[in-house]
Structure 1
C-alpha cells in the first residue's frame, strides 16, 4: 500500500474498460462451459426483463451471481484470467484517457482503488496490469466445498459503492478534499460526491453530464484503444 494520503477511485465498466465486464465474462463462461450464443442470450434476456420491469440494479447484480451457484470458485478465477487475456487484445478494450489518469495518479504516489459491481475474477487481472492497489467489488460467497453458494457478501452497487469508498477513505486516513474519483454513470454520483476532485468519463449519461456541467466537474473524453503490455 502506498503511503501518500491521497487516493483515486475508479469505476471500471465503461470508465476504464469499454465492456460491462460481468456480462462480457458471462458470455465467455457460457461458451467455455459448452453452451452457445443462444444459451447466453437466454440468460441475458432474463436480466433484461428484470431491468425493463424496474428491478433495482442491486437485485440484478444479486441475480447474476446466483446464476453461478455451484460453480467452482477456483475455476471461475481461472476463467476470469482467461477472459481478461482475450479481452485486453480487442482494439477498443480500454478507455484511454481514464487509463492515463490512473497512471498519473499511480506515478504521483496516490492509492489507486477500483470500485465495481463485478468480481475479483474479472477485476484482479485488470488491477494487476494497471497497478491498482485496492479492489472494492462484489464478493461471491463459497461453501465448504469451494463452490459458489449464489449469494454475495455485498453487492458493490449504488449505495454500497458509496459506503465502500467512504470506509476506504477513513481506513487510508485520506483527506477526501484531496482525493479524486472517476465514473461514467449517474449511479456513480454518490462516490463522486465524496471527493474534492470528481471526474466524469464520457457524455453518454445525460444525468451525470448535466450534473458535471452544473457543478463544473471535468469531463474526460471516452476515446478507446489498446494497451501495450507493461513490463513489470
Structure 2
C-alpha cells in the first residue's frame, strides 16, 4: 500500500466485488415478494426474463440499468428506502457469505491506512448507503433515479456503469488534486469495470472474469489479484 503519509483514494465496485449478490435484483425480488407474495414472485420472473433476453441480445448494460429503474415509477422514496433498510438488515444478519471477505478485509486495511473509500455502483442510494456506512466509505458514486414530489419518476441520471464509472471516478479524482491517481486503488469483478480500473495505479481484479484479468494484464502497471 502507499506510504500512509500520502493521501490516496480506493474505489470499489459493489455487486460481486464487495458483496456476493447483485444488489438491484436481489432487492427487487425481496421487495416484490414481501409486498405481493406469489404475485410478486411472478412479476420478478417476468422482469428477469426480459433482462436475460436483452443481455443475450447484447443490449448495453446501461440500457438494462434504465429498464430496471423504470419499474420504480411512482414508488414512494420513503417506502423503498424503508424496504431497503429491512433488506440490508436481513441479508447481513441471516445470510452467510453476504460479503466477499477478501474485498471487505482489503477495504478495512486501506481505511486503517488513512485512505478515502469510495463505493462505485450501478445500484441506487437506498442499497448502497447502508453498505457505505458499514465499510466507512466517505463517498458514493452510484446511479441516481430521478425524484419528483417524493416519488421516483422511473427515469435516471447517467447510469454509473462502464463509461459512466469512468466519468464519475474522473470527477472524484479531479476534486482531489492532492491525490496522485497512481497511488490509488480500484476493485472490480467484471470487464465493465475496466473504464474505472484503468484510471488508477493499482487496479485489483476480484473473482474470475478471465477477460478482465487478461485486459488488466496489458496495462502498464501490474495488477494485483484476489
> Same fold, TM exceeding 0.5?
yes
Segments of structure 2 that go 5 or more residues without pairing to the other structure are none
Please say if 1:150 is aligned against 2:154. Answer: yes
Residue in 2 aligned with 1:62? 66
Which of 199, 219, 226 lines up with 2:225 in the alignment?
Answer: 219
Structure 1 segment 99-178 matched on structure 2, within 5 A: 99-143=104-148, 145-173=149-177, 174-178=179-183
Which of 56, 80, 86 lines up with 1:82 in the alignment?
Answer: 86
Structure 1 segment 21-36 matched on structure 2, within 5 A: 21-36=23-38
Give 3-state SS (helix, strand or coil) of 2:12's partner: strand
Give 3-state SS (helix, strand or coil) of 1:165's partner: helix
| Alpha-carbon shift at residue 38 of structure 1 (Å) | 2.1
| Alpha-carbon shift at residue 39 of structure 1 (Å) | 2.1
Per-residue CA distance 1:42-64 (angstroms, 9 max, x = gap): 11111111112211100000000
Give 3-state SS (helix, strand or coil) of 2:66's partner: helix
State the superposition RMSD in angstroms. Answer: 1.4
Residue in 2 aligned with 1:50? 54
Please say if 1:201 is aligned against 2:206. Answer: yes
| Runs of 4+ more than 6 Å apart | none
| Alpha-carbon shift at residue 4 of structure 1 (Å) | 6.2
| Alpha-carbon shift at residue 154 of structure 1 (Å) | 1.7
Give 3-state SS (helix, strand or coil) of 2:53's partner: helix
| Alpha-carbon shift at residue 214 of structure 1 (Å) | 4.3
Q: Distance in 2 between matches of 1:65 and 1:130?
A: 26
Give 3-state SS (helix, strand or coil) of 1:14's partner: coil
| Alpha-carbon shift at residue 211 of structure 1 (Å) | 2.4
Residue in 2 aligned with 1:71? 75
Segments of structure 1 that go 5 or more residues without pairing to the other structure are 221-232
TM-score (norm 1): 0.89
Per-residue CA distance 1:136-184 (angstroms, 9 max, x = gap): 00001111x2111001112111101111001101112221011110111
| Number of corresponding residues | 216
